[in-house]
Structure 1
Amino acid sequence: MFPKPRTSLTPNTYDYESLPLVKPTGFREYDARWLFQKEINLMGVQALGIGLGTLLHELGTKPEIVTGHDFRGYSSSIKYALISGLMAAGIKVKDIGLAMSPMAYFAQFDLDVPAVAMVTASHNDNGWTGVKMGAQRPVTFGPEEMGRLKEIVLSGDLKTRDGGGYEFIENFPARYIADLTNRPKLKRRLKVIAACGNGTAGAFAPQILEAIGCEVVPLDTELDHSFPRYNPNPEDMKMLHAMADKVREVGADVALGFDGDGDRCGVVDNEGEEIFADKIGVMLARDLSTLHPGSTFVVDVKSTGLFVTDPVLIKNGVKADYWKTGHSYIKRRVRDLDALAGFEKSGHFFFNAPVGRGYDDGLVTALAVCDMLDRNPGKSMADLYREVPKTWGTPTMAPHCADEVKYEVANRVVKRFEAMHAAGETVAGQPIRDLITVNGVRVVSQDGTWGLVRASSNKPELVVVIESPVSEARTREMFKAIDDVLRENPEVGAYNQTF
């Protein structure tokens, strides 16, 4: 019988080395993330593996799973603890080794395996670990499955059984790379910066871009799990600034930046302009809807309002569906609506056939950007960006708020704006035109300027995004109005970045 997990243990004690530690807040809406050693120990990861195996049996899923791990100093040990638990639960494990998350999703198709458990902390700072899980390709777990997994693990209802096994799949990256590059080469010779922040994508992105005909300038592609320059996160302004500096230095056509586990892509144009991912989504939607008129695109509530107001998208008959932020939510919505693609402001992009298989892959996004440039030989990335109507938006900003209270605080903020709307009060000096509460609250003023507040799904933070179609001044006015409401809650701390 496996010991019941504890929700807290003191490090450097007998109990810590003899019992599983699993902090409940690590079970997020659509994946799992903990501070390794502080919130989960290796026995806790083993318990998670047994719990996941128990859930797979409960769901009636064929007891086979793909595993992989990202490039952090502790990810391999965490993966093997997870594998130990999965095997104890009677699951046959196919291990693809060091990988990006989309490689593990691809492996579900290529190896004909239904389930996946990718060990990664994605773009979180060092010290974090986590697991992205799914039991039905191409989607990953949502709140229902994560809630049940949490219940199984924390209750100690961990069922071991016979039938488990292990197989290491040698040189699996070659299969993934061949799948992406078995295609015509670009007609246009593009000089492309591949920026990887010393994360996992550095082992794969340059050769994939070279194989389709790009001249590649590597930037921080050496694997180094200390992340010496900045966290590999294409929403982080430090990474975007480094990409912009390199564009100006070498005269590149575009810079493509990948996050720590390679499922997201950020873009800087040939003039060194940092293009937020939702605007890249508009540009790709313009390009793809010209080829596929009448397409549906799913976008998250953090994204620009241009998906419904852009004249090219309107002309091409595009249907835009605003949905909950989170890779699992958007992925499922893309599948359920049979949308051509889904776009998140974070840079998670999901392409259905004929572009992709429905899961988020930063390299598929990078190839889509290169193909867009290839289809517009007389235009630069900056030219294409200038054709998109101008709006003034912020990066994703995240004030600290503890995991234990962040959803409660977000609910308070929603209720506050609902009360203001009902009372006819103004926000940032204008009446409230609309409130979108599908995921937190998106407050839209009369002139179309909007501000979003929601709880982060994977860190102890809230999320704030502002955009105005009018001016930067209106963006700043809305930010102040949103921040004033946030400061009514003492649990809200400092921002990770502002604008």
Structure 2
Amino acid sequence: MTAMTTPALPAEIFKAYDIRGIVGKTLTPAIVRAIGQGLGTLALEKSGPGATIAIGRDGRLSGPEFAAALADGIRSTGAGVVDVGCVPTPVTYFAAQHLGCGSCVSITGSHNPPEYNGLKMVIAGQTLATDAIQALRQQLLDGRVTSAAAPGPFRTENVLPAYLERILGDVKLTRPMKVVVDCGNGVAGAVAPELFTGLGCQIVPLFCEVDGTFPNHHPDPSKPENLEDVMRALRDTDAEIGLAFDGDGDRLGVVTKDGEVIFADRQMMLFAEDVLTRVPGGEIIYDVKCSRLLADHIRAKGGRPLMWKTGHALVKAKLKETGAPLAGEMSGHIFFKERWYGFDDGLYAGARLLEILSRSPDANAVLKALPNSTATPELNIKMAEGEPFALVAKLQAEARFPAAREVIGIDGVRVEYADGFGLARASNTTPVVVLRFEADTPAALARIQDEFRAALVAVWPGLALPF
């Protein structure tokens, strides 16, 4: 190991599930190069001599410069780089599997505004998250990086044909479908039209031109306001369903013909039902933000529901630990291990959804028949940095919920009632407390919110609540 000159490494860019900062301010080519040195060192430690890391990037304008800096940093350690170009994050994950290197980095700002970029990292099959990301920063601050006499090898590889071939060989539609496909000018636009056309669909493409300025709408399908163009296209054409993707293509949004958003917890009902026909008794993982109706549905179909923490990296780790065939998050990350690789892939999830819906002559009816309840979207309490975790810790220690059937503390406070649930958890990405409420009736929802309001104000007087 040799010492190196390390640029300032702002603590705030080392998030729970990835590295993310503002281009030219908190995230610069020098910082990305340093991170590359750390990742190259880790890959060599885990995989030995000959370790190679696949690099992909989304459509952000800073992507090419960051990819070059990252490759330079990795190669300075003697580790090799395979650059797979401008591709969705799941294609970068696929490259690590397909090329057999086991390590990859996607340079992506995900669903964040254009001025952001970041890195999602997998080393020797392990997604870096939480403590591992903090350890990486400390390793860089300590100068514990390998420095090779000659740079590691570099090559480019186009894995898109293999990715498409793999999905088109796996997913089969019973009938052709007409589908609105909204890529929000994110990098999914480089793949989605060819994929869904290849499946036999006629598509109505929206914003499939990759443009890192995102000129039409923000590429975050978990927010209903970003799905208005899909709804309009469904009204104006004879397409029967709408699919929307986030900026780097690892999350899926779904809209019915009549304009209802089918959030990921209800998508998971369909996916679980399908997977359990081939994996009877399988364990299905979902995060704490999901509807309690999902667990009921999984049980009814013979599966075993397992609630887990929010966060794509944390869910992936749990999937690996349990061997579950399927996992999903309310935010739109769906992880298929059955027939796929266990990483989150919005494009593959969209293909699997169409496979299921194509078995029915009326896709809208299938989606509308999914169990539903009265629920809020995610509500956020904005606070100062660090305060959300302090508030949730006080809730866990002090709050009383007299009518509760169960209080679950795996990620924040989720309070289960006979007729609904309430959730308060600290976001790992922004300084907010995330709230979500669900109930059988509007009256029950109001009652649960009243109990949460009292509990929150009791532990943190003067709190400005969004409900």
TM-score, length of structure 1 as denominator length:
0.87
Distance 1:172 1:110 in 2: 8
1:465 CA drift (Å) = 2.0
SS at match of 2:305: strand
1:215 CA drift (Å) = 0.9
5 Å-filtered alignment, 1:91-106, equals 91-106=79-94
SS at match of 1:463: strand
Deviation readout 1:149-188 (Å, 9 max, x if unpaired): 0211233333322353343324332222222223464231
5 Å-filtered alignment, 1:401-416, equals 401-402=383-384, 404-406=385-387, 409-416=388-395
Equivalent in the alignment of 2:361: 378
Deviation readout 1:130-163 (Å, 9 max, x if unpaired): 11111133x4113232122021123333332235
Letter in 2 for 1:405: G
Given the alignment, which residue of 190, 198, 203 partners 1:211? 198
Equivalent in the alignment of 1:398: 380
Letter in 1 for 2:141: L
| Distance change in 2, residues 1:95/1:319 (3 Å) | same
Given the alignment, which residue of 467, 471, 474 partners 2:441? 471
Distance 2:109 2:71 in 1: 17
Letter in 1 for 2:231: A
Equivalent in the alignment of 2:345: 361
1:129 CA drift (Å) = 1.3
Task: Check conservation: 2:108, 2:120, Cα contact below 8 A.
Answer: yes
1:279 CA drift (Å) = 0.9
Distance 2:235 2:44 in 1: 54
1:303 CA drift (Å) = 0.8
Given the alignment, which residue of 389, 408, 412 partners 1:436? 408
1:219 CA drift (Å) = 1.2
Equivalent in the alignment of 1:255: 242
Q: Which runs of 5+ in 1 are unaligned?
A: 6-19
Letter in 1 for 2:11: P
SS at match of 1:202: helix
Equivalent in the alignment of 1:199: 186
Among all aligned residue pairs of Structure 1 and Structure 2, give the percentage whose two residues are the same amino acid. Answer: 31
TM-score, length of structure 2 as denominator length:
0.92
1:2 CA drift (Å) = 6.3
Distance 1:35 1:484 in 2: 38
1:317 CA drift (Å) = 1.3
1:117 CA drift (Å) = 1.1
Give the aligned CA root-mean-square deviation in angstroms.
2.4
Equivalent in the alignment of 1:81: 69
Q: Which runs of 5+ in 2 are unaligned?
A: none
Letter in 2 for 1:123: H
Paired residues, what number?
A: 464
Distance 2:171 2:139 in 1: 48
Letter in 1 for 2:442: E
1:282 CA drift (Å) = 1.3
Task: Tell whether 2:71 aligns with 1:121.
Answer: no
Given the alignment, which residue of 284, 288, 307 partners 1:322? 307
Letter in 2 for 1:472: P
| Distance change in 2, residues 1:327/1:459 (3 Å) | same
Task: Tell whether 2:349 aligns with 1:349.
Answer: no
Letter in 1 for 2:344: D
| Distance change in 2, residues 1:383/1:228 (3 Å) | same
1:327 CA drift (Å) = 0.9
| Distance change in 2, residues 1:129/1:352 (3 Å) | same
Equivalent in the alignment of 1:449: 420
Task: Tell whether 2:399 aligns with 1:420.
Answer: yes
Task: Tell whether 2:315 aligns with 1:340.
Answer: no
Task: Check conservation: 2:172, 2:355, Cα contact below 8 A.
Answer: no
Deviation readout 1:317-351 (Å, 9 max, x if unpaired): 11001011111111121122111100110111110
Given the alignment, which residue of 251, 256, 268 partners 1:269? 256
Task: Check conservation: 2:266, 2:371, Cα contact below 8 A.
Answer: no
1:37 CA drift (Å) = 2.1
| Distance change in 2, residues 1:127/1:161 (3 Å) | same
Letter in 2 for 1:298: I
Task: Check conservation: 2:3, 2:144, Cα contact below 8 A.
Answer: no
Task: Check conservation: 2:221, 2:253, Cα contact below 8 A.
Answer: yes
Distance 1:27 1:441 in 2: 25
Letter in 1 for 2:119: V
Task: Check conservation: 1:413, 1:485, Cα contact below 8 A.
Answer: no
